[in-house]
Amino acid sequence: MLYNIYMTLNELQTKLSEIETSINSKLQTCQDTKTLQDLQISALGRKGALTELLKNLKDLSLEEKKLFGPKSNALKQSLTTAFEAKLAELSLKEINENLNKTKIDLTLPAFPFNQGKRHPLAIAQKRMTDILSRLGFVWAEGPLIEDELHNFDALNIPKNHPARDMQDTFFIKNTARKDFVLRTHTSGVQIRTMQKQKPPIRIMAPGRVFRKDAIDATHYPVFNQIEGLYVDKNVSLADLKRDLTVFMRGLFGQKAEVRFRSSFFPFTEPSVEVDVKCVFCEGKDANCPVCRGSGWKEMLGAGVVHPNVLKNCGIDPEVYSGYAFGMGVERLAMFSLNIKDIRAFYENDIRILEQF
């Protein structure tokens, strides 16, 4: 509706009361918020009836304006208030109707919420690497598929060593006639680090390793290791004993007893095996299923880095020396969490995993 032709005051006033009656009556019968909003726009919107009518104000005389102006403003005001009241009334009605339609039973208990948690192996690995990093070891990683140089040769592992047997290691034939293996330990990371970096070196190498082991309660063809390497001037077996004792006590408690037995590894000389006093029977139960009555549990292998290994990596063994150690995360986790079968880590039985 356009009122662009000249209108007299009387005509305008008639029009104004027409608008008032018409809008008010429509407002009364309005049943839903959508219609209400459309109605409000058609009355008070930018192109609404009242707005259009008010455009004629400019053609009136001053006296007429004084008369018509307040009147039309009052109507605008009262209509706005009426629309707001009606909107509140209709919205409430619609909310209630919707609620009745959807039938939500607010008294039902909530659905159980399954919160994930860390895998026991991840828990164990984190505890170990946390202690090692407090001892100054920096996280280092390397490839899972390793070449023979890094997995064997540079580590002073001779050609006839059983670890290089097809029965013990997963070999991957490569077209470039260079053999690759699924790494049997993370010691290759130590080689890679020493090739790149000059001492002092203090790294830990956590990660997955692979051996052709038949599966039983303590063996699995895929497992996890953390190896450590410390190379600097004057590093000796004494440093190794001190750091590993601190590590074991961090893991098993300050009272943990640690024993070093001499052993053999091609890449360390001297080599040791590190045992911890059985935390279950403390060496007192001859029938202890965990330590089988021996009172001790073998935890890891370690030793002073063989001079050949340093030489292979371009480090002068006359100037530098180092120690290295390697441990199985599963083995230590089984011992500290009292898990009897290594398969529990990989079978993903939630009843077992959620206990940690």
Residues in contact with ligand PHE by the rule CB under 6 A = 185, 187, 227, 265, 268, 301-303, 324-326
Contact by Cβ (8 Å): 184, 151: yes
The helix (run of H) or strand (run of E) holding residue 322 is strand 321-328
d(CA 264, CA 271): 5
Q: Minimum CB separation from ligand PHE for residue 355, in Å? A: 29
Residue number with CB closer to ligand PHE (227 or 330): 227
**Nearby residues of 302 by Cβ (< 8 Å), 6 or more positions away:** 240, 244, 268, 271, 272, 273, 274, 323, 324, 325, 326
Q: Which is nearer to ligand PHE, 68 or 230 (CB)?
A: 230
Q: Which residues pair with 209 in a beta bridge?
A: 223
The alpha carbon dihedral of 288, 289, 290, 294 has a sign of positive
CB of 130 to ligand PHE, least distance (A): 20
- Cβ closer to ligand PHE: 199 or 326? 326
CB of 250 to ligand PHE, least distance (A): 19
Distance CA 277, CA 262 (A): 17
How wide is the angle at C-alpha 321 spanned by C-alphas 317 and 325, nearest 5°? 125
> Which residues, at least 6 apart from 170, have a Cβ–Cβ distance to it below 8 Å?
181, 182, 210, 211, 212
Nearest to 150 by CA among 267, 318, 316, 322: 267
Nearer to ligand PHE, 154 or 324 (CB): 324
Least distance in angstroms from the C-beta of 263 to ligand PHE: 8
Amino acid at residue number 161: H
61 or 160: CB nearest ligand PHE = 160
Give the C-alpha separation, 318 to 131, whole Å: 31
To ligand PHE, the closest distance from the beta carbon of 187 in angstroms equals 4
Residue 187 or residue 312: which is nearer to ligand PHE going by CB? 187
Nearer to ligand PHE, 185 or 202 (CB): 185
- Minimum Å gap between C-beta 238 and ligand PHE is 16
Q: Tell me the residue nearest to ligand PHE as measured from the CB.
A: 326
Burial of 169 (0-12, 13-18, 19+ CB in 10 A): buried
CB of 302 to ligand PHE, least distance (A): 5
